[in-house]
Amino acid sequence: MKKVLVGMSGGVDSSVSAIILKEQGYDVYGATMKLWTPDGENVASTDAKKVCDKIGIPHYTIDLENQFKSCVIKKFIDGYKNARTPNPCIECNKYLKFGAMYEKAKSLGIDYISTGHYAKIEYSDKYKRYILRKSKNLEKDQSYVLYNIPKNILEYVLFPLENFESKEEIRKIACDNNLLVASKPDSQDICFIPDGDYKNFLEKNSDLKSKEGNIIFHGEVIGKHTGLYKYTIGQRKGLGISHETPLYVIGFNIEKNELIIGEEKDLYIKSFKVKDYNLLLIDSITEPIKVNVKTRYKSLEHPAIISMDGNLINVEFEELQKGVTSGQSAVFYIDDIVLGGGIIV
């Protein structure tokens, strides 16, 4: 009997994943990552342990607090220090959920790891490798945040929710198994900032503090800001400026502590570059490739050509696009298959 270690957050998706795998005949083990939280609570572990007891599987708590601080929290803070808008969930997936948890599974002699993500992994005869694809439920698809999974472990990752078309189906399975988490709401916020106030988090957990600087529009000072970390590309609200046309954040001058703003047309770009990339479908980019690109989790995909530019990937859109933000990830698709992705420079 094959063994699988299921990453359990205490939510309904990961709980139902464990049930499905058990019904499929796997020897299932539950695992909850002990991460750093400002209040020190670990509600996820408590809820997950109750689920494991209910469905009759062992439960482990894996202490990853130090790794979480160095791989996720530090990068999150450093991103804002450098006027970037990071996505901590992607870093957590890379280093913890599909890094440290896989190593834990190996140390326990367990064959596979699994999570409650909505995505598909399967072997492709065409590409002669395991590939990552979008889930059947496109509205819930999470392939965007999974592009950073190390390609060498794809064949050891199971996504039991890959073919479900609605969240109602998942909740029904939880109800049928009398799980208390059946009606638990989906988490919408960054796990270590449950109130969503990232500015307050940064000020309490780093040396980032309010620091006044100039707001620049067409080379002229037209106002003051109170800290570059409080803004992101495309932001319109909260600028405190009255103007005949809507104004948006379009850039930052870190050296001069200046916030650069412009009109909506100034947000559109034709190309950008990507660093720290991970390629899943191919081993290297040797010639330009036509792909569809998603630059934020909830954004639409847009056709583009990707090619190498030294150690960076150059992305050239077919048409001008807006909303491309430094620190976020660009993920490349061929049809519904994830070719790879990386961090927007």
Question: Which positions are catalytic?
Answer: 92, 191
Per-residue tokens: 142: 């999470």
Asked whether 191 and 38 are in contact (CB, 8 A), the reply is no
Question: What dihedral angle (degrees, nearest 10) is formed by the CA atoms of 287, 288, 294, 300?
Answer: -150
Q: Shortest CA distance to 74 belongs to which of 86, 62, 63?
A: 86
Question: For 232, what's the count of Cα atoms within 13 Å in the CB-facing half-sphere?
Answer: 15
Asked whether 132 and 121 are in contact (CB, 8 A), the reply is yes
Per-residue tokens: 335: 């049809």
Secondary structure percentages of the chain, helix, strand, coil, to 5? 30, 30, 40
Alpha-helix runs per DSSP H in the chain: 12-23, 43-55, 65-68, 74-81, 88-92, 101-107, 167-176, 198-205
Residue ranges of E strands in 207-311: 213-217, 220-225, 248-253, 258-262, 269-279, 289-294, 302-309
Q: How far is CA 250 from CA 91, 263, 264, 269, in A?
A: 25, 8, 9, 11
Helix, strand or coil for residue 141? coil
Distance CA 325, CA 272 (A): 10
Alpha-helix runs per DSSP H in 108-177: 167-176
Per-residue tokens: 320: 């001008």
Q: Shortest CA distance to 281 belongs to which of 137, 159, 126, 138?
A: 126
